[in-house]
Every structure is written in structure tokens, then in C-alpha cells.
Amino acid sequence: MTYDDAVKALSNDAVKLVKNNQTIGLGSGRSATAFVKSLSLLVKKKKINIKCVPTSLQIKLEAEKGKLHLIEAVLDKIDIVFDGADQIDKEKNLIKGGGGALLRENILINAAKKVVIMADSSKFVTNFNRDVPIEVHPLARNTAFKSILKIGGKPRIRTLERGYPFITENG
């Protein structure tokens, strides 16, 4: 089974957790995109009433395409969040935010009553073996670098193919 097939199957299972009149947080990335497509079909088929809070422009556009009802975050009213993960270790810790929506994803996950992480077997690792994304405001760059160095980290600015800095959803 390909990664895309696995994500589609996970999304089709996850959408079964959606209930009428819920406020749903929509994560970012491939898993969240597949979930939004499944959710759009569910809403159209069952005519349920839901409100969705996207964490990224990518997911907002996908949700608009699927005619989902979008609202701004009402943080004390998020019933359930559906998202993917970059990696999951044996203790069920997650690395998230590699797609650039780290802050928004974390805000919704922490505000939600329930969180569903959709991940296939390729995301599960014994020990993390990739960079951990950290969102830093440009004014705090030097301070953040020093703090990361103090705890043994190796900070670096993530760059795009042409060498430009990678900019997150929040700028």
C-alpha cells in the first residue's frame, strides 16, 4: 500500500468520529488534506452541520473547495482536531509542524477536547531522527539560537531550494 493509499484509508476511518454540530480543527499537510476531502464527502452525503477551523492556508483552500463551513478559531469550543505528524516515537511523542503551521497546529491541539493523529507506519520511529521545527519570530532569532545551544541543540534556519528562509504560516 502506498503512503497516499494509507492516508486515504486513515482519513476514511477518522471521519467516522465526526458528529453533528461539532467544531472541528483541521491540521495541515497530506494527512489533513486527505481528511478534508473525506470530511467534505461526509458533510455532502449525510448533510451534517459542522464548523471547521483550518490551521493553514493550504487546508483553508482545500476546505473551501469542499464547501466546508469555516470559522475563525474559538479556542474554548474546539471539539476535535484531526492532523498528521512528521514522526511519532515509542513514547507517543510527536514531531509536528514541518509544513510550516506549527504554532497554529499546537494552539488547536492544546485547545481541543479530543485529538486524532492520522499516521501510517512510516511515521513511527524508535527514536526521533529528523530536525524538530521551532517557530521563532525574526526579532527573537538570536535569543532563540542561544537558548537552543544551551540545551545542546544545533539551531539552523530552514531554507528553501534557492537559499531563501522558509517562512511559516505566521510569517
The pLDDT assigned to 27 comes to 95
Spans of all domains in the chain: 3-123, 134-171
The pLDDT assigned to 129 comes to 92
Looking at residues 5-19, what average pLDDT do you find? 94
Q: Which of 62, 64, 91, 105 is catalytic?
A: 105
pLDDT band at residue 86 using 50, 70 and 90 as cut-offs: very high
The pLDDT assigned to 140 comes to 94
In degrees and rounded to multiples of 5, residue 42 shows phi and psi of -60, -45
Helix (H, G, I), strand (E, B) or coil at 154: coil
The pLDDT assigned to 23 comes to 96
Q: Do the beta carbons of residue 78 and residue 111 sit within 8 Å?
A: yes
- Find, among 125, 118, 121, the residue nearest to 93 by Cα: 125
Q: How far apart are CA 50 and CA 162, in angstroms?
A: 41
Catalytic residue check, 105: yes
| Percent of the chain residues topping a pLDDT of 70 | 100
**Three cell numbers at 62?**
482545500
pLDDT band at residue 115 using 50, 70 and 90 as cut-offs: very high
In the CATH hierarchy, which fold is given to the domain comprising 3-123? Rossmann fold (3.40.50)
| Whether the predicted pLDDT of 102 surpasses 80 | yes
The mean predicted confidence, pLDDT, of the chain is 93
Q: How far is CA 168 from CA 57, 89, 99, 137, in A?
A: 11, 24, 8, 10
Looking at residues 42-62, what average pLDDT do you find? 96
Query: Residue holding cell 514541518?
Result: 98
The pLDDT assigned to 156 comes to 93
Q: Alpha helices, DSSP H only, in the chain?
A: 3-14, 30-46, 57-65, 102-111, 141-150
pTM (predicted TM-score)? 0.90
The pLDDT assigned to 99 comes to 85
